[in-house]
Each structure stands twice: as structure tokens, then as C-alpha cells.
Amino acid sequence: MDFRVPGLVYLETGDNKMGADDLYKRDYLMRLIEQMTEVLGTRLLQLRQEKKQKEGLELIDEQLTKLYLPKSKLLHSVSEEHLLNMFSVNGVPESDKMAAAGLLLRHQADIYKDMEIEADRANGLRKALFLLLAAKREGFDPDGLTGREISGLLKEMNADKADLPALTELFLMDYYTGEGRYDAAENLLYRLPHKLDSGVYEVGKRFYDTLFQLDDQQLMEGNFSREEAEDGWKEWQQKYKPNSETINIEEEELDT
């Protein structure tokens, strides 16, 4: 399904092969992102200190336009699923642009904090977290920048207790799993059944399947144990398996 908004201009790459023009555009975008991370933060801080919040917001929208992206008002208004499609070309996610937009919305949230517009600040932080998680999920993390920004956002938002959209929590669960924070990932897993319309059982099966691939030391380093994984898997099956029959993942793998 195509969620693109009529009237907006999107970059296209034809049959999804990178030609010379596409490579040039990608290099141009990377330079913009590098400039943004090095210079824009300083400039926005200066504008905030000078009480020029309106100019700061205009600067953020200007940078989004340079990245061939919609302005922040639209990014704030659409769902996470819609965002994911807006940042994809022919089904291929543009992780660099996701990260850049996430950083910009993160800066914008600081300006809204100065202006005491809490609703826009909170929404901006949620969208920034989602875009950065999506970029990290696609492997975009130059010099650990994306991971550091995610870590900072999680602390600021107290994300483990925040009410986040289902897709954000799915991506956050994957992030925690990739970081070896298996206890935090499982906590998120048990919040998802109330938010997902379908696929609940499969999400849990994939998570516990990942845990069963690890040795005891790896589980311990993630504040987990094999016994906890086995108990958690049994409980998940009892609650969410479409029928009452339980499956032992380890035995299932041996049979295949």
C-alpha cells in the first residue's frame, strides 16, 4: 500500500538501481547530514539562547526541505506506519534521511520545550525516537551517532514507562534485543498484545527463538536466564497461541 501524500515531491530511483545521479544525490544528502550534526545543533542552541525560537523552527523546516522531505508539521501529523512509507523509495527505506529527520525533530522538541508547548514537544520526541530506531534497524549508525541519540531520547522520555505507538515499541524491542537488554525487551513484549491487531503470537515466538539461540553467559549478561526464557515462552504460548498446543522451540529446531 502506498501512503504517500498527494502534492508532495519524492525522490525516485527508477528500478531501484543506483545510477550516477542517484549516487550524487545520496552523497549530497550525506554531506547535508554531516553538516547538520556538526553545525546545526550549535546554531539552534544560539537561536534558543537569543530567544529566537521562531527562527529556529524555520531553520529546521528549511533543512527538511533541503533533504527533499515534508515540513515538520506533516511529519508530526501522520502515523508511524505512514512515516515509514514516506521515507522509503520503491519499498527501500532511506535510513540516512530517517536519521537526519529524527535529529531535526529532536532539536525541534527542545525549542517547543522553551516555548512551553508540551504537546508538540512530546509528539516530536515520539516521532524522533521512531525515525532513529527505524534508521538504526536498517544499519545506519555512523560512528555510533544514531545509537547515542536513541539512548539520550530513551532517558529523556522515560520510554520504558511511556505510552508509545505499537510500531515504535516493536522497533524498540528489537533495539533492546540487539543491544543485549533482554529483560527490557521482554517487558516491552508484554505490552504489545494490547496494541497489536494481529501477529501477537508470532512476535513473541520470534523473540524467544532469538533467546534460545544464545548461550547461558550471553543471557546472563542481558539480565536474563535460560529458565526465565523457557518460563516466558511457555507463558506466551498459553496466553497467545491460536490453539492450546504448546511448542518447545529447541525441540522444534532439532526436528527440522
For 99-141, what is each residue's pLDDT tens digit?
999 999 999 999 999 999 999 999 999 999 999 999 999 998 8
Question: What is the percent of the chain where pLDDT is above 70?
Answer: 79
Question: What is the percent of the chain where pLDDT is above 90?
Answer: 64
pLDDT higher than 70, residue 11: no
Q: What is the DSSP letter of 158?
A: T
All structural domains of the chain with their residue ranges: 1-162, 164-256
pTM reported for the whole predicted model: 0.81
> Can you give the pLDDT at residue 116?
96
Is residue 146 within 8 Å of 136, Cβ to Cβ? yes
pLDDT digits (tens, 9 = 90+) for 131-179: 999 999 999 888 888 999 999 999 999 876 778 999 999 999 999 999 9
pLDDT higher than 70, residue 204: yes
> Can you give the pLDDT at residue 39?
73
190 phi, psi to nearest 5 deg = -80, -5
**CA separation for the pair 167, 151 (Å, rounded):** 18
Q: Mark out the alpha helices in the chain (DSSP H runs).
A: 20-35, 41-49, 53-66, 72-77, 80-86, 95-114, 118-137, 145-157, 166-178, 182-189, 200-212, 216-221, 226-240, 249-255
Residue 22 banded pLDDT, cuts 50, 70, 90: low
> Can you give the pLDDT at residue 91?
85
Average pLDDT over residues 71-79: 96
